[in-house]
Chains A and B, each alone.
Chain A
Amino acid sequence: MSDTVTGAPTTGGANKVSRISEAVIRIAGNSQDGIQAIGGFLARLAGRSEQEVMTFMTIPSTISGGPSIFQVRIGSGEVLTAGDDADVLLAFYQHSYEGHINSLKKKGIVLYDADHVQPKPEWESEYHHVGIPISSLTVEAIGGTAKDKGKNIYALGLIAKMFDLNIPKLEKLVGERFTGKDPSVLNNALAAFHAGYANSPTNLLETFQFTDSQKKGAQQVVMNGNEAVAYGLIAAGVRFGAAYPITPWTDIMEILRRELPKYGGSFIQCEDEIASISMALGASFAGRVAVTGSSGPGISLKTEALGWAVMAEMPLVVINVQRGGPSTGMPTNIEQSDLNIGLNGGHGDAPRVVLAPANVEDCFYMAIEAVNIARKYSVPVMFLTDQGIATRIEAFSEPDLEKVCQDITPDLTPVPMHKAYDLAAKDGITHHVKPGTQILDGRYPIATGLEHDEFGHPTGSPKLHMQMTAKRRKKLQALGATLPLPKIYGPPEGNVLLVGWGSTEGPNREAVDRSRAAGDSVSSVHLRHINPLPNGLENIFSGFNHIFVVEMNDEGLYGYGQLAAVLRARYCDAKIQGINKTDGLTWKVKEIIELIKTKLRK
């Protein structure tokens, strides 16, 4: 709230109402407390109220339980990140209180469960403490047998009161959540919610009211990145997929397994990662682009088959929800360390397409683009999201589904003859005819991983290997020539240009906003098409003294992160430097700003 509070700062007594344009609320507890549910309700409420919203969560990679947080930033204006520091911390336990008080702004409000948290005197002057025995009041509200289940909903009531949230809308959301369950479950939830809401307002130091949203009237949908990818694939016409469960990819396969049958499609859970990509390739070969996906080690296992897709020129979409690596690494943390495997994973010269969506909305539209690139260029597409974008919730304008949904049923019209790997094809782009298609001259193609002639039959010809290798490269160069240059955020000339990819778009832009507000010359540009890169980036780079590539991966042996190394190799530009981190958490804007300053001092 700090920068944007339009009312007085939070110093007053009870019942004071401040008008605010945004707020960051961090809820800290254990993973089984349903804190993600509170965050989800708040995010969806924001979506229904035409506000912008972004969330951030951490989950333990243990089987059950463990500390977990959910942070939600709601704004009436543009929201680019989940926020560096919270305005309000809701702490359920002593460890939540002690572990997260540092993420609270000075003079921010810590709302704690007095049944479990003993405030520390040294912090009481720095933060506004509001203690409410949430656990016991929940039991009181719901009845003795409920233990403290439902305290998350009680806390939602408190937050609703504090931020003067729309009660009928929230009640409706709670109702939708418990549809189909025993009515007593909903009744208990609503009882807890109302009890929280009715909790004496004098206990709350202050209440807030959001200013009206700037984007009035827009219908919004609210979802996380994994959901957006899954529904984007469905909109794109994908009707077959195969995968093996692995965090944080699993949500996507669960959604597709559940949803595809409605469209006559199937998603198959396979025995392993290799079978998954193989089955997806079989389905792609059989007619329409299929999907597989994974995270971490699962992607490593798929690389041999990915190479086959390059060689056989088979369309395929591989979703890679990146997590911390290498090996089993940090399954529930964020990292952007799979760019190299995306670009180069596997043996041999194996050019493929690499795309990286910038936010949740982009996950939806870029999934469609991925499918269309795979189809048009007969090439596998590695789609790099990450744990952060996968689990964060955003609200975005509802897509015009009638327009964006496509039918990619294969055309099985007989053809006179067919050269699957025609060297004379425009830009070297292969178009396979699908099984079921009669080829009237009686010569049928083989999709193959061996180097081959134009009909897909094996060859050891040095000349053909050179020609086919070039063919597989040229079609991506042709794709590169069609890609638009990314827009520069901020002035096109200046001192520092931040270059980002994937989920870092928001933090980079906010870093630009804050730096410029402080008088520093910083702009940013965001790459969504990483292989091939759009042509002409050098013209953007030439407008700046320093190019800092902001990535969540290691600076590497030679001091450059994975994208920075690619850009240096391509542009031979010594101005290109890396800003990297490997703590497994999303970028805080202040971290980026500090690292810019550090780099500039060098």
Chain B
Amino acid sequence: MSQTLTDNPVVTINAPQPATGERKGLTKKEIAADHPTWCPGCGDFSILALYFKLIEKRRLYHEKITTISGIGCSSRFPYFVQAHGAHFLHGRALPFASGVSLSRPDLHVFAFSGDGDAFSIGGNHFTHTARKNVKMTLVVMDNQVYGLTKKQTSPTSPLGFKSKTDTWGAVDYPINPAKQAIAVGATFVARTSASNPNHVLQTMEAAMDHDGFGFVHCLSECVEFYEGAFDAANPRKGGVFNEVPKTHDVTDELAAYKLASADFPGNFGILYKVKKPTKNAREMEINKNAQSKFTGLKDWQILQKTFERMK
């Protein structure tokens, strides 16, 4: 299932290759589409810019990637990128992205989501896409607030956060996304913050190179409705950006879980990374076995064989 995204990608569906032998990598100008509609100062700008940088750096082409999202501020993402994309339903980006990933091994699927989209309305899909290890890269831009609907409590809002739906302060215990991801069987779990661009790029790149479900939990401040939420993780605001200790064994699930449990701002970097067969690979294996019994037959002849038994 490993695939090269740069030169001559592996194509299993009869995709005619562009005639040009030497194709240049894309420039930022060629990748950028609509001007983002986010509020000035939003952390999401940084993530978009770094996505562009990733595409440039890794020489990904427009048609070889798909950018998929659900609903929310973060999920406007596909409109800002010149690539085949889909802006799908609230919470449902992951199953949609799985449909693309499982049927098109020649494409790399990036899904962008927010805390409400990924962990509240789409919580069930987060669990199951992770445990199935569907190959894709998921970046959740977590601002700990509902921004598009203007300041309601989100599943990651800390206790006591005052929103329009909890004017007295949030009373529900928040989700810890990294802990949850590890617990449900994600094979790549990393934390980063939009305030540290180099780290975001590095983390997205590592997630993209992971053969499986690569989950990046990215803090992304909403300056409009939750200003200063992540100051504690930002050295420029007097906080600390603690990277995952060099001694941490990323394949140690328990250690990763403990690291993910640290109080905010916690540790940034790859918390957990293991190699497990992807859903994509497992399905291909099933197909290979099934097809081995019908070598050389056209599809209609395979169906004919089934019908022979129904007479």
Which residues of A approach B to under 8 Å, CB–CB? 44, 47-48, 176, 219-223, 227, 231, 234-235, 237, 239-240, 242, 259, 261-266, 268, 270-272, 274-276, 278-288, 290, 304-305, 308, 312, 398-399, 401-402, 404-405, 407, 409-410, 412-414, 434-439, 442-450, 457-458
Contacts and interface: CB of A to CB of B under 8 A. Distances in A.
A262 B294 contact: yes
A371 to B, nearest CB: 14
B300 A401 contact: yes
A47 B311 contact: yes
A553 B301 CA distance: 41
Interface of B: 11, 13-16, 18, 30, 33-34, 61-64, 66, 68, 78-79, 81-89, 92, 94-104, 106-107, 124-125, 127-128, 283, 286-287, 289-291, 293-294, 298-304, 306-307, 309-311
B253 to A, nearest CB: 22
Given A231-B303, A263-B299, A263-B302, A283 B63 contact: no
A8 B82 CA distance: 80
A279 B18 contact: no
Contacts of A412: 13-16
A398 B310 CA distance: 10
A282 B96 contact: yes
A224 B125 CA distance: 34
**Residue among B61, B64, B79, B101 with the highest chain A CB neighbour number at 10 A:** B79
Given A240-B103, A261-B290, A436-B104, A270 B95 contact: yes
Nearest to A290: B99
B286 A261 contact: yes
A242 B128 CA distance: 14
Given A47-B311, A282-B95, A410-B13, A446 B291 contact: no
Nearest to A314: B86
A443 B291 CA distance: 39
Contact of B125 (A235, A237, A275): A275
Contacts of A401: 300-301, 303-304, 307
Contacts of B85: 444-447
A439 B98 CA distance: 24
Given A304-B89, A444-B83, 20 more contacts: A48-B311, A221-B311, A261-B283, A261-B289, A262-B290, A262-B294, A268-B283, A275-B95, A282-B97, A282-B99, A286-B100, A305-B92, A308-B88, A409-B14, A412-B14, A436-B15, A436-B64, A446-B79, A447-B87, A457-B33
Contacts of B310: 44, 221-223, 227
B191 to A, nearest CB: 25
Given A290-B103, A436-B63, A438-B63, A407 B299 contact: yes
28 contacts: A220-B311, A239-B103, A240-B102, A240-B103, A261-B286, A262-B290, A270-B128, A272-B124, A280-B99, A285-B100, A308-B88, A401-B307, A405-B299, A405-B300, A412-B14, A435-B107, A436-B11, A436-B63, A437-B84, A438-B61, A438-B63, A442-B30, A444-B82, A445-B84, A446-B78, A448-B87, A450-B87, A458-B79
Given A414-B18, A439-B63, A447 B290 contact: no
A271 B125 contact: yes
B196 to A, nearest CB: 29
Contacts of A439: 62-63
Contact of A444 (B84, B87, B102, B283): B84
B30 A262 contact: no
Given A268-B98, A285-B99, A446-B87, A436 B106 contact: yes
Contacts, number: 207
| Dominant secondary structure at the A interface | mixed
Contacts of B293: 262
Contact of B103 (A266, A404, A407, A448): A266
A399 B311 CA distance: 12
A270 B98 CA distance: 10
A437 B104 CA distance: 12
A245 to B, nearest CB: 15
Nearest to A266: B283
The 6 closest A-B pairs by CB, nearest first: A282-B99, A261-B290, A405-B300, A435-B84, A278-B95, A275-B95
A125 B102 CA distance: 66
Contact of B33 (A290, A413, A444, A447): A444
A174 to B, nearest CB: 14
A436 B109 CA distance: 11
A506 to B, nearest CB: 21
B303 A286 contact: no
A264 B102 contact: no
Contacts of A434: 84
Given A221-B311, A278-B88, A242 B13 contact: no
Contact of A281 (B61, B87, B99): B99
Nearest to B63: A438
A259 B301 CA distance: 13
Interface centre among B68, B84, B104, B125 (most CB of A within 10 A): B84
A266 B14 CA distance: 18
Nearest to A445: B84
Contacts of B88: 278, 281-282, 308, 449
Contacts of A278: 88-89, 92, 95-96, 99, 125
A410 B12 CA distance: 12
Contacts of B15: 412, 436
